Amino acid sequence: MDATTKVTLFSILMLFWSHAECNHLLHPLDPLTPSELNLVRTIVQNFYPTSQNLTFHYVGLDEPNKPEILKWLSSNNSKIKPKPRPPRRAFAVVRFQKQSHEITVDLSTHSIVSTKDCEGNGNPMLTFGEQAVASQLPFSYEPFKESLKKRGLNTSQVVCACFTIGWFGEGKTKRNVKVKCYYANDTANLYARPLEGVAAVVDLDDMKIVGYNDRYVVPVPKAEGTEYRASKLKPPFGPKHKGIAVTQDGGPGFTKDGHSVSWANWNFHVGFDIRAGPIISLASIYDLQKQRHRRVLYKGFIPELFVPYQDPTEEWYYTTYFDSGEYGFGQSMSSLQPLNDCPPNAAFIDAYYAGSDGTPVKIANAFCIFEKYAGDIMWRHTEISIPNEVITEARSDVSLVVRIVSTVGNYDYVIDWEFKPNGCIKIGVGLTGILGLKAGTYTNTDQIKEDIYGTLIADNTIGIYHDHFFTYYLDLDIDGEANSFVKSNLETVRVKDDTTPRKSYWTVVSETAKTEADAKINLGSKPSELLVVNPNKKTKQGNKIGYRLLPGPVAHPLLLNDDYPQIRAAFTNYNVWVTPYNKSEKWVGGSYVDRSRGDDTIAIWSLR
């Protein structure tokens, strides 16, 4: 792509304050406030006054176009009269009468700007409200009662949950989910005690059971040894550790103004979205020599997380989840626990999203921000070559971390955005929580004669093989918008000069992507470096200004390309995609992922 093309980068890795309520005080990228969410609810409900059972599946900030934001920022940083803030708008996806509708609301004029009936095959995110209702349906369903009676289970100890079911070539699909159940009975670790073989199919629009299976009976795994609550644990206990104090006598080293954060040489904005979760925007770093901030990242977030399980049997084949587009990474964020999720020197920010009825829901302590020092070294050198002198210099590695935890079902995802004084932005992912398990008849591996699609980890308990593919949207603005994507290959060269005893060396051969096809990258096969550069900005020595993309361990999907889950998750076919900036192309799995067919993914956009 040439230098005038804005680069938006997607990288797939596997594993791996109070709100100002006055609009004139809000930053244009601030998430919607509780009063704004209430306003959206009122306006939408008044627009559809006769509709019943109207549900809100998504309400978020309708961000101003990027050029508007940049012009506003530029005017604020100059001596000329600042431009007025861009119009503040909200985007909502609501559903009634089995139809999804997109609505754009102007929050300043209290009016609806546009409406659109959603077409296509996919559906919006599931709401917590409809999941809660659907999960209770089996308890009044006679065949399910018989299934519990047959197994001798106490109904009061049974807990059920909803699971999306994907698309597997059906011509027509409804908003159906599977409801599977677990037997708690002396443990909070529900997922360790599944009622295997039993599942109900629920139509979310009609909110009724439309299918039911009780295919076989296997033992419910024992509760003993599955409890994880500290207050319930029994000896033997692990070793005790002495406390480690984290103190900042002078107070925090960062400042925040609403959702804008300043620390060391960094400025950036922290946003929130019900679907994406944390959004980092407008990251810039201060240049001491030039005495000004230089742009690095316009916007970064996780647009999708694909989790395919590898059991093709009736009870498990559909477990190929899209945790962002189906369940909502943002609405699944947990309240962070001081001293455990975050250190003592952390500051916290709340988040708000619209519930299924449109009313604001508060996530207390949704974000924590803290300075981190773990005893690491950022830079050091010891010089012993100077006669009669030893020089040692070292710089400690202190960074600023923005952290959230999103709990989707049995998994807790710890997401860190870490800013370093040396100009690096490091994105960390931690997977914790508890395993989603399958019940079986085996108690020892000697009994297993066929593929069980996982590992026997306890009596009657199988951990199914599965993957986690995190996708990152990184809209890099390195010293401005005119960026290019460069792949630098390390190539071996045979020496032809007989004046040296060396026979070979390696050199760098750089290729600038001219098309989107040029920038589809799978890492790991050849030594290479990935860079985003600004060809119009150069160092004193003439090198292009740029940032390197330093991936961690990479992995590639092992599903066949014609397998239905992989069709829907075609964005995992490459580790890196580069596309021109397009405001509407931010969800790599498509705008509507539930039961989608893969016809609105980045794999399709890149062909246009």
- Select which of 205, 323, 475, 477 is catalytic: 323
536-555 average pLDDT score:
94
Q: In the chain, what is the greatest distance between 2 CA atoms, to the nearest angstrom? A: 90
253-258 average pLDDT score:
96
| Whole-angstrom distance, CA of residue 548 vs CA of residue 536 | 17
| Whole-angstrom distance, CA of residue 51 vs CA of residue 235 | 57
Q: Is 193 exposed, middle or buried (0-12, 13-18, 19+ CB in 10 A)?
A: buried
**pLDDT for 15 beyond 50:** no
What's the DSSP call for residue 84? P
92-97 average pLDDT score:
96
Which of these, 322, 329, 324, lies nearest to 568 by C-alpha position?
Answer: 322
Query: Would you state the pLDDT for residue 246?
Result: 80
Catalytic-residue membership of 411: yes
Please report which confidence band the pLDDT of residue 78 belongs to, taking 50, 70 and 90 as the band edges. Answer: low
Query: Would you state the pLDDT for residue 80?
Result: 66
| Whole-angstrom distance, CA of residue 593 vs CA of residue 125 | 7
**pLDDT for 143 beyond 90:** yes
Name the token pair of 42.
Answer: 């009122």
**pLDDT for 2 beyond 60:** no
Please report which confidence band the pLDDT of residue 570 belongs to, taking 50, 70 and 90 as the band edges. Answer: very high
**pLDDT for 16 beyond 80:** no
pTM of the model: 0.93
Least-confidence region, from 73-82, 187-196, 403-412, 510-519: 73-82
39-65 average pLDDT score:
93
- The string of pLDDT tens digits covering residues 583-600 is 999 999 999 999 999 999
Domains of the chain: 7-14+256-332+345-597 (2.70.98.20), 23-117 (3.10.450.40), 128-220 (3.10.450.40)
295-310 average pLDDT score:
98
Please report which confidence band the pLDDT of residue 102 belongs to, taking 50, 70 and 90 as the band edges. Answer: very high
| Whole-angstrom distance, CA of residue 162 vs CA of residue 175 | 12
Q: Is 222 exposed, middle or buried (0-12, 13-18, 19+ CB in 10 A)?
A: middle
- The string of pLDDT tens digits covering residues 392-424 is 999 999 999 999 999 999 999 999 999 999 999
246-269 average pLDDT score:
94
- The string of pLDDT tens digits covering residues 163-197 is 999 999 999 999 999 999 999 998 999 999 999 99
Please report which confidence band the pLDDT of residue 52 belongs to, taking 50, 70 and 90 as the band edges. Answer: confident
Catalytic-residue membership of 564: no
Mean pLDDT (the chain, rounded)? 94
516-528 average pLDDT score:
90
Query: Would you state the pLDDT for residue 472?
Result: 97
Omega before 64 within 30 of 0, i.e. cis: no
**pLDDT for 81 beyond 80:** no
490-498 average pLDDT score:
96
- What letter represents residue 517's amino acid? A
CA dihedral 56, 61, 66, 71 (to 10 degrees): 150
**pLDDT for 11 beyond 90:** no
286 SS3 class:
strand
Query: Would you state the pLDDT for residue 79?
Result: 61
- Select which of 182, 411, 472, 592 is catalytic: 411
10-14 average pLDDT score:
37
**pLDDT for 1 beyond 70:** no
Please report which confidence band the pLDDT of residue 608 belongs to, taking 50, 70 and 90 as the band edges. Answer: confident
State CA 113 to chain mean position distance.
29
